[in-house]
């Protein structure tokens, strides 16, 4: 069993056994048939992944590795808010007729800000500090910009990253206000683990810990039987992560520069209902 499987199973059991139901409350999400999508939720879930020991892809089922990398590059590298720059269709429901999701996600990372060292966007500021001020305690990003929320088709879920260099290891905290555990948990974990690997390589560090802080970790009512079956499955050893060692410029990475070898998993779960 991989560490990621252990963490996922323990988290799901905790939510199912100790979580609070929102049934009957005034909730926003609905299913496609128009009924309210209730959840069992836990507040303040914190999961820690030591990236120096293994890559945190669960083996209970296959995580769409290439697609999650494509999305993290869309946000952090392309700094795009247009689904026409993305190869998957996960954002289609929130895009307008031109493909824009508004001033959300990649848009915010691409906005330039004035610093003593000159104008930089948030990604370039992180890279600058990791190379020039590695022991700063101010290396962070935030895309939850209140003045622009009215122009976002979806408020950011994973909204903040804080980076910390300890010794020669790059650690990071991912802050997430809300998470659909079945649909998105390991997807987010994998893509931000990849991001830490990318930044560590281009800035000259080894990878350390990824700490994932979820304010509202929830399992939707129609996902409960799926989760219960999923966490009883056989698990396998963690896959081996490969990233092209030749890439030293953050903006030169492509989806083909990443690979999971020996990734053995349980069967795919199809037709997961999504609440919007």
* Residue list, annotated binding site: 137-138, 177-180, 188, 218-220, 275
Our answer to whether residue 203 is catalytic in this structure is no
Dist. CA 114–CA 99, nearest whole Å: 29
Give which of 17, 4, 49, 39 is closest to 210, Cα–Cα.
49
Of 72, 19, 50, the C-alpha closest to 187 is: 72
Per residue, the 3-state secondary structure of 242-265, as one string, reads EECCCCCCHHHCCHHHEEEECCCC
**Catalytic entry in 12, 68, 157, 203:** 157
- Contact at 8 Å (CB) between 193 and 48? no
* Rounded Cα distance, 24 and 153, in Å: 26
With 0-12 CB in 10 A as exposed, 13-18 as middle and 19+ as buried, what is 101?
buried
Binding-site residue set for dUMP: 137-138, 177-180, 188, 218-220
Q: Write out the catalytic residue numbers.
A: 157
């Amino acid at each position: 069993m991989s560490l990621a499987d252990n963490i996922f199973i323990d988290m799901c059991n905790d939510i199912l056994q100790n979580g609070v139901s929102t049934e009957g409350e005034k909730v926003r999400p609905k299913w496609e048939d128009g009924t309210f999508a209730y959840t069992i939720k836990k507040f303040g879930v914190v999961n820690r992944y030591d990236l120096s020991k293994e890559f945190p892809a669960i083996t209970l089922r296959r995580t769409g590795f290439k697609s999650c990398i494509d999305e993290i590059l869309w946000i952090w590298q392309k700094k795009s808010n247009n689904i026409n720059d993305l190869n998957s269709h996960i954002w289609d429901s929130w895009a307008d007729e031109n493909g824009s999701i508004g001033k959300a996600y990649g848009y915010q990372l691409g906005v330039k800000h004035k610093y003593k060292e000159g104008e930089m966007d948030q990604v370039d500021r992180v890279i600058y500090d990791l190379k020039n001020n590695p022991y700063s305690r101010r290396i962070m990003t935030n895309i939850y910009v209140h003045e622009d929320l009215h122009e976002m088709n979806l408020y950011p879920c994973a909204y903040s990253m804080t980076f910390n260099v300890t010794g020669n290891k790059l650690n990071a905290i991912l802050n997430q206000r809300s998470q659909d555990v079945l649909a998105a948990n390991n997807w987010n974990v994998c893509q931000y683990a990849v991001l830490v690997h990318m930044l560590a390589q281009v800035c000259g560090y080894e990878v350390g810990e990824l700490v994932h802080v979820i304010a509202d970790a929830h399992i939707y009512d129609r996902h409960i039987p799926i989760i219960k079956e999923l966490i009883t499955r056989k698990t396998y050893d963690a896959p081996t992560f490969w990233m092209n060692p030749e890439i030293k410029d953050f903006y030169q990475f492509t989806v083909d520069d990443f690979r999971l070898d020996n990734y053995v998993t349980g069967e795919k779960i199809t037709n997961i209902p999504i609440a919007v």
